[in-house]
Structure formats: C-alpha cells, structure tokens
Amino acid sequence: MQYINQQSYEYIKNKYHDTGKPFDPYKRFIRHDEIFSPDSGMAPEDIIEGITENDAIYAELSHPVRKARALEYVLKNTRISCDGRDIFPAINMIDRPLSKTIIKKWRDEVFTETIPDVEARRSQLERDGIVAISPDYDHSVPVWDRLFTLGFSGILEESEKARASKSRTEEEDAFFEGIKITYEAVLSFIDRLNAMATAPKMKSALASIRRGAPQSFYEALLLSYLYFMISEHIDNLQVRSLSGFDTSFYKLYKKDIENGVPEEEIRSDLAYYFLQFTAIGNYWNQPVYLGGENEDGKAVINELSYLFLDTYDEMGLYNPKIQIKVSDSTPRGILLKALDMIRRGRNSIVFVSDKTIRRAMERAGVSPEDARLANITGCYEYSSQGSYCSGMNYVNLMKPLEYALHQGHDGVTGVMAGLDCTPPSGYGSFEELYEEYKRQLTRIIDVTVDTVNGFESYLSVINPLSMLSATFPSCLEKAKDAIGGGGCYNGSIMTFGFLGDITDSLMMIKKYVYEKKELTLSDLVSILDKNFEGEELFRRKLLADRGKWGNNKERPDAIAVDLVNFIVKNLCGRANSRDDKWNCGFHVARMSYTQGKLTASSANGRLYGEELSKNISASMGQNREGATAAILSATKIDATDFTCDAALDLGLLPSTVKGEDGLEAMYGLLTSFCRRGGHALHINVFDADTLRDAQAHPEKYQDLQIRVCGWNVLWNNINKEEQDGFIRQAEALV
Amino acid sequence: MTAAIFEIKRFAVHDGDGIRTTVFFKGCPLRCVWCHNPEGLTAIPQTAHYSHKCIGCGECKKEGFTPEDCLGEATVLYGKEMTVEELLPILLEDRDFYETSGGGVTLSGGECLMQADFCAELLKKLKENEIHTAVDTCGFVSKESLDKVIPYTDVFLYDIKAYDEEVHIKCTEVSNRIILENLAYLDSLNKKIEVRIPYVPDYNDDQIEKIAHFLAPLQSITKIRVLPYHNYAGSKYKALDIVNTLPEKLPTDEEIKIAVETIKKLTNFVVLS
C-alpha cells in the first residue's frame, strides 16, 4: 500500500480487532487486548469493575461529575501502546466501558424506574415494527475549529472562564466541573501517551497538543484522532463527522507546506489517519466532508481537497466515508474526480447539495452564516455547528396501511396496534382509504412525539456530554449540556421510511381496486393476508405495472409528494422536550431490512419480510425509466420544506459510466440533481456480487441497466450466457 | 404523420455528447451481419418473445392479448406508430439533463432517415425547443432525405463500415458509394460529423487504413469512434425468431487499440473507442 509500509499496514489492520478471527462489523465496539502490554495499565475486566467501585465514592455527586470521574478512571488506567509501526497511539478500552457500567445503570434507572410507561411504549413500537426509536447519542459533531484553535487545554480554559463569569447554581457548577475533570483527564492521558511514545514525531506532537492548539497538520490529525477515540469509544458519544476537512485542516496544511514539509509526508500522515478508520471497520463508517462555500461565495475546494481524495483513492479504502457539499461554485474538476472514483468502485462518496441545505435551514430560521457552515452529520443529515439534533426515530410508513386494511390490526401479528377503523368493504373510494391511512399515520406520529419527548429530557441525565459540550459556545453560555438543550439548535428528527413501497402500494390499490375494479379491497386484503399464495400471477401483474414512484409518472409521484407534504405539515414545528422543534427526514439506515422483516406483504407485489425501499428511492427494482426519471421524481419533493435528508440512491453499471461520455453523464446527473433542488445523491456502480444476485433474482432488478455497445439494455433483457459475460467483466474490476 | 418507433431510450450516454434520449426508428436499408438492433431491420411492427423471461402466465393465450398484457414482459412489440406530438413531450422530459451535460436528442434506428419527413418535423420541433439534435445514420439514404434534416441537425453520427465497395456489400448487402458521397456532401456543408466505425474481425478489420485515408481530408469531422463489435444481441435474434447472423469472433483490446492508433496516425482527428 502506497504511503504505508507493509509492516505498519499489517499492524494497523489488526490494531482494533484481530483480523485473523471472524469479525462482525455489526457488533459495536470491540477490543483487541493482545496488542497491549500488561505493564501499560490495568486488565480490561478490572477496569470495568473499577469503574463501578470508583463511582461509589462519588455516589452523592451529580451525573456530569460522576461520568467525568469514570472517564478519568478509564483514561488513567487503560492499557495503551505507542507502537513505532504507527503514528497514532492505541487505546485498549475502546469497547465503551462507561456504557456497560454507569451509563447502563442510569439508563436503567430512567427507563425502568422514572419513565417505565414511556419505555414500555417505545419497546412496543419497536417490536411491532412501527417505529424504531433509540436515545440518540450518535449524531454529535464537536465544534472542530474551536478544538483546532484552542486545543484541549484552551477548551478547558474557556470553560473555566465561563464558569467564573457569574455566580452559578449547583447544577450549573456541576456542568462546568464535569468539563474540567474530563479535559484534565484528557490532558493527563496525553501525558501518559507521551511518556510511552518513543518516536520523536509522535512524542513532540503529543507534547504540543498537551500545551495547546495543534501547530502542524499531523498534530491536528492526532488531536482529531484522540478526540474521536475518547468520545466515540470511551465517552459513549459517536462523532459523526471528522469535520469539513478541507476547511478545518487547511490552515495547518498550508503552514506545513510553507514551512517546507514535503507533500509526500502530509499524504503519508493522512494515509495513516484514514487507515485507522478502515481498521476500526464499523459498519456505519466514519463520516468526513469536503466542499461547501466560503464567506465570499467561492468554493471551499482547495489543494487539500484534491490531496485528500487522491490519497483516499490511491489507498483503495471505503472508510472513512466522504460527503461532498456541492454548490454552484464547486469546481467541475473535483466532482469529476469524485465521480471517476465512484465509477471505479470507490463509491463511499455521497454528494449533498449545499444550496438545498442552506435554503432548508434558512427557511427553518437558521442564520445564513450558520447555514453556510452546517456540518454533514452522519450519512446525509446536516446540522448547524454547535447544535445537537437527535434523530434515531424511524417510522415505518407501511404500517398505517396495514392498520387501515385490518381495522387497526397489524398485518403480520394480528395484534391491535393502530386505531379501530372500518373493514376494507367500508371504504367507498380510494380517497376514503387514503384519509384513513393518514389518520393512522397521524396517530403514529403523535405516539412517537410523546414517546421521544417523554425520554429526551432525560438524555443528559443518562449520558451527560461534557466532552462535547465544552466545544459548544452556547453550552458554556447557557451552562447546559449539549444534549439537554445547550446546543444552539436542539431539534428532534423523525425519519420516515419506505416512501417507494407505500406510494406504490397506494397507487396499485387506487388503480386495480377503485379504477379498474379488478378486485375488491376485501379480496386484495385476503390475498395480502395469504402473502400472495396461489396468486403469483396477480403479484407479477402488480410488479410489472410501470405506474410506480421513481419514474417521473404523474400519478404515483403526486401521492408521494402529497404524503411528504402531509408529514411536514403534521410534524414539523411541534415542540420537542429540549426547547426546540421536531422536523422530519426520509432516510432508512438499515430499517429497509430490519423493519422489512416485520412488514406484511404489500399491494405493490412485495412479499412478507422482503426488503423495503431505501431513502426516497423507488421500491426494489421499480426504477424502470432510468436515472434521469429517478431524479425527476425525487426532486418533486421539496427538500427545503424540512431540515433533514431526502437521499436518492442511483444504481449504475460500470459499463454505463465508462469512458469520457460516461463520466460526463454522471456529472450531468449530479448537476441536474442539485439544480433541481435535490438534497443528497448516492451513485452506486454495481459489482459482480450484485450482478450474480440480479441473475438469481431478476424480479428484484427490473431497473438494472447495462451498456452493451452502442446502447443500454435492461439486465433482464439479455440471456444467462450474456449475463455471465458481464459478471466475468465485473469480477475483473478492482 | 406517424413513424414506427421501436424504442425510446432515456439516459443514453454514448449516442452523441452528454445525456441524451435516443429514438429508435424502425426499418433499415442495410443488412449488416453484425447488426445489434435486428428489431429495427424491417419497417413493419414485430412481436418478439424472450422465452427466458416467460413466467407461464398464459395471458398470451387469451383473446385480445397485446404485448402490454405480458406479465413477465417476455413478449415485446417492436414498432409503435407515433406522432411528433406524442414523441415531443417524452423527449423534452430530460431537458434539464441535456442542459447540464451538453446532451440532447438523438434519432437512430434502424435507419431513421428512411422516415426523413417525420424526422425533419420532429427535429424542427426539437430545435424550436432549443434542444441539441443528433442524427445517427448509416448514410445509405437519398440526398433529398439528408437535405430535409440538415437544417435542424446539430451533429450527424455517421457510420462508415468499409471503404472497399465489395467489402461493404459483403458486410451489409449494399454498396457504400452513396454513403461515401453523402458523407462528402455533409462535409462540404460544414455540418458537424462524428464518424463511427464498427470493428468486426474477419469482416472489416482490413478497412481501417483505407477509411482513415478517405476521412483524412474532410473538414467537418469532430471525432471518430471505433466501436468494438460485441455479440450481445443474440437474444434479440432468438426472440424475433430470425436467423442469427452475428459473427462469433470478437475483437481484442489490442486490435481496437491498434485501429485507434492507425486512424490517429493517418488523420488529425480525435479518435476514441
């Protein structure tokens, strides 16, 4: 691997888990004990025990202080390593020891003792596949620029200054004390690392970031890495962006270059940095973004942006994942570079429209400057710097239809989970059914709001976020935890999944039951209840119908847009319990699989348990009119009506996007998407595995196109032998 | 006025510059042995049956069956009579993409200029809507037909399959004299021309140098593309129940590279594959 020698590469690959053993990326936060010397700290099991014992000493104190003491205990005692094969240290206790001990305890206390009814409702909603809700300790981004300009010690000083600026209540003082203990523990931890480090580069960098702000590009990387590791892996708070990299790291990059640091060294440092995240290997990947605009309206993109992408590209990595904020001023060159990477299979890149994000935020009352500086916070979500918006509330849009068709009962379990309503025979028109659907959906929104509001005010009790809060100016000013309403914005997001499947299901009911009158709604419900058993031809008919969402067809698109507008109207602006408002988004994370398993067969021909549609994309295999039609449909949704995501997944084949023409076409798709007000675009160039699956399950891949010679054909229109040829070609792709 | 259309392909990426919508007209005067679009050969509508897609639904046995009723989409009708008014809104749907990618609409086939009056009317409407237009032609058409579309065509995608007449006849069943004359005619009018040369081993692989010599003095060629022959159209022949004439031998990457380099050496044009 370029920039990293083989020995180092092997070491880092095994730094976070033993690659010789089976690794489940879905298992969150594991350790690799064997690489640590027992002399470097306490055994992991003893630390776990010790956290609880240590906490007993502080039992009378506030949670921020107790958590800070627990973090301090871990940082003081965890085994560490500063191996010469790496330029970043290793920490043993990265399996979230606090979440197994005190945070678990506080969580149990809150959910089982303080608000058991809320928890009962939450778990019921999840079990029934209606809404998957979890307390959101996942969407934080520190104000990186403050960390880079102040360093850990400067952050601490600022906090202490704020603490001393006025008289404080006991609660306020505890907030600042939590920060003080936390940051002092971080500084002492850096001392520990420094004492162990032997490589001059690491040693002097540790000494420097112990003193204050990082002074070089590498020091900034090191600070970023340590903040990330401590927050995400010990302090129980995910760091959902490593910053707008070409903004936050640029000054120090320039300084290094001016000071004569060879560019190759900077590339190598970056390569080591990237590899840490690849080696951690969690399925959710580590986000970092590029691009956006400066104050003067010019693109942020600079030589560091290119160096970043080049290095990433040359290493052939998939993690961290990269978002690019695209604006009118974004240079064509960087987009072509990114698109070229995607078509070569380096497709961990998502494009987000800067214009759409800014307009959505400004419409929601965010200042233009805050909107310009918005972070990309996770997959496609965005938020102001110094804000904490929660959003782990995934509504299954298919369930309200199950209830409307089953007098309030779940279509899978038969349990009464919705509102009582008329039997199918009672709906005189599609409009009546649709109204009932909306009534059932409204109730789900109501219950979700109540449930989430019921526990979100306790989030800072369960897991106070001293480390993060210290980086938020508004938290210092308000003396309030970032997750307890201390952020400059503190919204809550509900995300609605499977717009494609619900639109298509409603559309098929409208067409075949109420317009063509080919069967009654009661007949259809019986067919669905039997999971289409004995009705395969009818199912095929539904699947073959081209009047589906994602194909720029007027009728289905009108339903989808109406549904989105209904959700926006119904939810956005409601009060949450952290002094802010609710908003909505449309991403599904892994819910298309997990909630899909709990969702009955549907009127668009989907079988019980099958995968549901992703984000705002067409349902599986139903984007039959190709990429342009998919974009035309998706951008009928006004993504500035809400302040979360509306991401479109586009599947393209390598043969479609090959050559100069192919790259230009990708650029055209992206530019049109942004121009039309789209929010996020993920272009997926399919690999051999997908094609093999497409061969085995053609019905799922009706929209898959393939470029043959002078034309594109649908995958399903060529025979097996021809498909085999393409699979072989795809296998040859690196 | 109507024309027989056998496909409208949106997001066509390699039929001229940018993102395009390509309209495939039915009927072709040539019978190229390597034809990739055999459904475009005859002017009359044809029904094809892709047996590997058949789910045995039995719909096709019912009275009044049309290919649109086929649940497995195994039975396909190639050739639908359409008016300019019907086509235009479909072709304008992707205009945003044409603008951002420098694309537009391409008329192809078959041989679209066998329906030159229709093409002229359609192209005129497209130009009224400020859409970039391309005509993909084999060139085996009358000058009158060309004249009808010239005012409304931004670029011609012009196929040259052989220079030697006897080779051309062997490969396509017709002489290439008209084709070469028409190319020279378009060139004399300074129309933009992208020349496309299919490369088919054992058929026209010995023609590359001669074609290059012929093209070298022309003034209006924007680029030349060498299109490597593929045999992926086999399933269409089977579905149409017509004799599969596709050659077995495929070109190697090396052969294509040499062909490109040869043309580059003998001309001043941009040559791509």
B57/A628 Cβ within 8 A: no
Angle among Cα A82, A87, A91 to the nearest 5 degrees reads 40
Sheet with strand A647-652: strands edge to edge: A287-291, A321-326, A349-353, A680-685, A647-652
Q: What is the pLDDT of residues A639-655, one digit of tens each?
A: 999 999 999 988 787 77
pLDDT at A713 over 50: no
- B102 in contact with A, Cβ within 8 Å: yes
- A703 in contact with B, Cβ within 8 Å: no
Q: What is the pLDDT of residues A303-322, one digit of tens each?
A: 999 999 999 999 888 788 89
Interface test with B, best of A636, A661, A708 (most B CBs within 10 A): A661
Per-residue confidence at A707, pLDDT binned at 50, 70, 90? very low
- B250 in contact with A, Cβ within 8 Å: no
Sheet with strand B80-83: strands edge to edge: B80-83, B2-12, B20-25, B104-109, B132-137, B155-159, B192-199, B221-228, B271-272
Per-residue confidence at A734, pLDDT binned at 50, 70, 90? very low
Nearest to A628 among B50, B97, B227 (CB): B97
pLDDT tens digits for chain B (273 residues)?
Answer: 999 999 999 999 989 999 999 999 999 999 999 999 999 999 999 999 999 888 888 888 899 999 988 888 899 999 999 999 999 999 999 999 999 999 999 999 999 999 999 999 999 999 999 999 999 999 999 999 999 999 999 999 999 999 999 999 999 999 999 999 999 999 999 999 999 999 999 999 999 999 999 999 999 999 999 999 988 888 999 999 999 999 999 999 999 999 999 999 999 999 988
**pLDDT for res A721:** 64
Query: Distance (Å, rounded) from C-alpha A404 to C-alpha A423?
Result: 8
Q: What is the domain partition of chain A in residue ranges?
A: 31-114+143-238, 393-685, 686-734
Residue A360 vs residues A354, A356, A477, A641: alpha-carbon distances, Å: 10, 6, 27, 6
CA dihedral B181, B185, B190, B194 (to 10 degrees): -30
pLDDT at A583 over 50: yes
Per-residue confidence at A281, pLDDT binned at 50, 70, 90? confident
pLDDT at A710 over 50: no
Per-residue confidence at A328, pLDDT binned at 50, 70, 90? very high
**pLDDT for res A28:** 66
- A58 in contact with B, Cβ within 8 Å: no
Q: Which residues of A touch B57 (CB under 8 A)?
A: 537, 540
**pLDDT for res A26:** 64
- A718 in contact with B, Cβ within 8 Å: yes
* Orientation angle between helical segments A263-280 and A6-13, nearest 10 degrees: 30
- A60 in contact with B, Cβ within 8 Å: no
Query: Distance (Å, rounded) from C-alpha A98 to C-alpha A96?
Result: 5
A87-91, A444-448, A590-594, B242-246: least confident range: A590-594
Higher pLDDT among residues A531 and A729, named by residue: A531
Q: What is the mean pLDDT of residues A423-432?
A: 98
SS3 (DSSP) at A223: helix
Global pTM reads 0.92
**pLDDT for res A712:** 35
**pLDDT for res A642:** 97
Per-residue confidence at A548, pLDDT binned at 50, 70, 90? very high
Interface test with B, best of A343, A518, A552, A628 (most B CBs within 10 A): A628
SS3 (DSSP) at A260: coil
**pLDDT for res A18:** 86
A14-23, A278-287, A705-714, B208-217: least confident range: A705-714
pLDDT at A163 over 50: yes
Strand blocks (E) in A379-503: 382-383, 393-396, 492-497
This model of the complex carries an ipTM of 0.93
pLDDT at A704 over 70: no
- Pull the structure tokens for residue A670: 């992206």
Q: Domain B2-41+77-272 is of which CATH architecture? A: Alpha-Beta Barrel (3.20)
- A705 in contact with B, Cβ within 8 Å: yes
B12/A711 Cβ within 8 A: yes
Biggest alpha carbon–alpha carbon distance for chain A: 79
Residue B93 vs residues A503, A553, B99, B105: alpha-carbon distances, Å: 22, 11, 12, 11
Query: Distance (Å, rounded) from C-alpha A136 to C-alpha A389?
Result: 9
Class of A393-685 in CATH: alpha beta
**pLDDT for res A1:** 62
A720/B19 Cβ within 8 A: no
